[in-house]
Amino acid sequence: MSDQPQAPLQKTPLHALHVGLGARMVPFAGYEMPVQYPTGIVAEHLHTRSQAGLFDVSHMGQARLDGAGRSQALERLVPGDIQALKPDRMRYTLLTNATGGILDDLMVTNLGDHLHLVVNAACKAADVEHLKRELEPSLAVTPLPDRALLALQGPAAAEVLGRLAPAVKAMSFMTVATHRLADIECLISRSGYTGEDGFEISLPAEAAERLARRLLAEPEVKPIGLGARDTLRLEAGLCLYGHDIDQSTTPVEADLGFALGKRRREAGGFLGADVILRQLRDGTARKRVGVQPEGRAPARDGTEILDSGGAKIGHITSGGFGPSIDRPIAMGYIASAHAAIGTAVSLMVRGTPRPARVAPLPFVAHRYHRG
């Protein structure tokens, strides 16, 4: 045991609202966060798939990048094509290290006179330090701790948000605009991490509870905790940093090739490019895949994946129950020779090998609004 005192958990601007709504609060990435509300994870999950769920993601890190040549400079650190990013558009990309490992995954938005970044909560201090070390003083990296972030996700999200700002209904997936919601100036993106249509809303922290209460007053909207957020993104086949991707995994192993811009694949010029471009050309020893357990027993993180002879060929990185399809689902890394869709494998669950198959991702089709 460590004698070092534990740092007190931070609280988002919506902490009092969560408690008032009866949320069960848990530690997550240094914050006290709602894992579920009284109706439970399955009900919250299914409500998001059918109506609209409101998520507090204010623990995520937000920052701005200012200075001439910012897009070109950021491309030294990420494999995405940032220079081709048009104003009011956003892009998913990855911070890589010199060996091709993933430091974090993030969203980059071109707001015309600066870039807006959203990074993962557990990585945000290290990310800002990395960005400052690599980009300053020619560019300015400015954290935005006074900003909150809400996500409204689900098929009714556009209708609900359109009652407050009708123009948002015309937005397409991965576009960004500034609108006033409940008389609060908000930076709104049509994006999210559930596989559903929806929006993420960056706004002043002091106004977050006011907007959250306004949205929760709409009949289609219910508060959703971290538990359902995890099952939703797992059904959608989306990675969770620290589980499915980290510094020991590369974008190619993680099946995130879509985040590698065509120009970047040809020209390189980013940290770890030699490793990543070689893997694109020659392949990798392992791949991230979907895994469909047979029966009802879920396979949790760390579960060993075995071949037909009982040899270990991989491990599960995210696993649980998929409420939308009423069966266990998982994903993880498996030796490339066994990664073909439909390959029969076994999962070592509580000391017993249980049958499963390599499955296509996502488990539930994405429903992004592409206009």
Over residues 274-302, the pLDDT tens digits come to 999 999 999 999 999 999 999 999 999 99
pLDDT value at position 3?
Answer: 56
The C-alpha atoms of residue 78 and residue 130 are separated, in whole angstroms, by 12
**Domain final residue pick, 235, 252, 276:** 235
In the predicted structure, residue 4 carries a pLDDT above the cut 90: no
Name the helix (H) or strand (E) containing 315: strand 312-322
pLDDT in tens, 304-340: 999 999 999 999 999 999 999 999 999 999 999 999 9
In a domain, 263, yes or no: no
Give the model's confidence band at 5: pLDDT under 50 very low, under 70 low, under 90 confident, else very high.
low
The C-alpha atoms of residue 207 and residue 186 are separated, in whole angstroms, by 10
pLDDT in tens, 217-247: 999 999 999 999 999 999 999 999 999 999 9
Same domain, 20 and 156: yes
Q: What pTM was estimated for this model as a whole? A: 0.96
In the predicted structure, residue 371 carries a pLDDT above the cut 90: no
Same domain, 184 and 300: no
Tokens of 229: 């957020």
Same domain, 230 and 154: yes
**What residues make up the domain containing 25?**
15-60+146-235
Same domain, 161 and 53: yes
Same domain, 214 and 289: no
pLDDT value at position 2?
Answer: 46
Q: Mapping DSSP to helix (H, G, I), strand (E, B) and coil, where does residue 53 land?
A: strand
Give the model's confidence band at 1: pLDDT under 50 very low, under 70 low, under 90 confident, else very high.
very low
Same domain, 221 and 353: no
Number of domains the chain is built from: 2
The C-alpha atoms of residue 328 and residue 296 are separated, in whole angstroms, by 6
In a domain, 244, yes or no: no
Question: Quick one: which of 9, 136, 10, 140 has its CA closest to 63?
Answer: 140
CB atoms within 10 A of CB 343: 18
Amino acid (one-letter) located at 175? T
Same domain, 48 and 158: yes
Above pLDDT 70, what percent of the chain? 99
**Domain final residue pick, 177, 200, 235:** 235
CATH number at residue 307: 2.40.30.110
In a domain, 120, yes or no: no
